Amino acid sequence: MWLDRYRDADPEDAFDHFEYQRDTNVEFLRDLPVEAGDRKAHHREAGEITLAQMLHEWALHDFGHIRQIAELVRARKISSRRRSARCHLPTQAMTSRISLLS
Calpha distance 87→1 (Å, rounded) = 36
Q: Where are the chain's structural domains?
A: 11-101
pLDDT, tens digit only, all 102 positions of the chain: 667 777 777 878 888 888 899 899 999 999 999 999 999 999 899 899 999 999 999 899 989 988 988 888 888 888 777 766 666 555 555 454 444 444
Predicted pLDDT of residue 46 = 86
Distance CA 77, CA 83 (A): 10
Calpha distance 82→32 (Å, rounded)? 51
Three-state SS for 49?
strand
**Dist. CA 74–CA 53, nearest whole Å:** 32
Q: Which of 87, 68, 77 is nearest to 6 (CA)?
A: 68
According to the model, what pLDDT value does residue 102 have?
A: 43
* pLDDT on residue 87: 60
Taking the whole predicted model, whether its pTM rises above 0.75 is answered as: no
Task: Note the pLDDT of residue 77.
Answer: 83
- Taking the C-alpha atoms of residue 86 and residue 22, their distance in angstroms, rounded to an integer, is 42
Coil, strand or helix at 31: coil
Predicted local confidence at residue 98, as pLDDT? 47
Query: What is the sign, positive or negative, of the torsion defined by CA atoms of 56, 60, 62, 66?
Result: positive
